[in-house]
Amino acid sequence: MNHKNILILDTATKSQIVILVIQGKITTFKSRLGKNDYVPCMIPLIESVLQENNLGLNNLDALIVGVGPGSYTGTRVAVLTAKMLAFNLQIPLYQISSLLLLSSGYSYASLTPLIDARSNAFFALSLKETHIYLNEDRFESSFLKSFPNHLLIEPTTIKIDFCTIKQFAKIVSNCHLLVPNYLTKTQAELNLEKID
């Protein structure tokens, strides 16, 4: 991944995150606490990050998006924004787990990043250095006790490292086919199943 100007987006948690990487270095990291207002704030936040660096959308060479798991509505905002920008600008789009993205700045030998999934459950994965040995899923908190170094991802615990992100980001071959990683059904889907 040798692109000059890379924009990174994530909205899987309460934090709406926009990061600009220029020549392999994070130059701007902006995070705001979302209050169910991710949609109207997404483009202004992106524009603010670009303007601080005297860049426009047309100066972007690639995009990376956190695809979840996490907030159902929140995750869709970053993914749809990234798809739209990648298609309109005709630039490469990469995807990465929000768990890996938002914990990429931690250098523990083992790490188990967690995103609250409510009802005493968490979205989680566990890794040793760069090897994932517990695949991303929704787990009960009791199951996760045997995995080391829990990191609950919250606005104050997010740490980003671009070198780690590069290791885990995967190219999206067709931006139209990229979907968020929800891992759980919405309440509406669960209600429909009860009717059937």
pLDDT digits (tens, 9 = 90+) for 121-148: 999 999 998 899 999 999 999 999 999 8
Residue type, 127: L
Structural domain contains residue 90:
yes
At 114, is the pLDDT very low, low, confident or very high (cuts 50, 70, 90)? Answer: very high
Structural domain contains residue 128:
no
Q: How far apart are the first and last CA of the chain?
A: 47
Count of domains forming the chain: 1
Instruction: Give pLDDT tens digits for 155-190.
Output: 999 999 999 999 999 999 999 999 999 886 555 544
Structural domain contains residue 10:
yes
CATH of the domain at 66: 3.30.420.40
> Looking at residues 50-64, what average pLDDT do you find?
98
pLDDT surpassing 50 at residue 153: yes
Structural domain contains residue 194:
no
Q: Which domain holds residue 19?
A: 5-103+159-186
**Six-digit token string for 4:** 């000059």
With a pLDDT cut of 90, the percent of the chain lying above it is 81
Q: Which pLDDT score is estimated for 4? A: 95
| Cα 160 from Cα 6, distance rounded (Å) | 14
Instruction: Give pLDDT tens digits for 32-44.
Output: 998 888 899 999 9
Structural domain contains residue 110:
no
Structural domain contains residue 170:
yes
Instruction: Give pLDDT tens digits for 4-35.
Output: 999 999 999 999 999 999 999 999 999 999 88
Q: Which pLDDT score is estimated for 18? A: 98
DSSP string, 89-127: HT--EEEE-HHHHHTTT---SEEEEEEEEETTEEEEEEE
Length of the chain: 196
| Cα 113 from Cα 75, distance rounded (Å) | 17
| Cα 93 from Cα 126, distance rounded (Å) | 25
pTM of the model: 0.92
Compute CA distances 116 → 18, 19, 171, 173, 180, whole Å: 21, 23, 27, 30, 17
Structural domain contains residue 126:
no
pLDDT surpassing 90 at residue 71: no
pLDDT surpassing 70 at residue 194: no
| Cα 106 from Cα 111, distance rounded (Å) | 8
Residue type, 87: F
Q: Which pLDDT score is estimated for 186? A: 52
pLDDT surpassing 70 at residue 111: yes
Structural domain contains residue 59:
yes
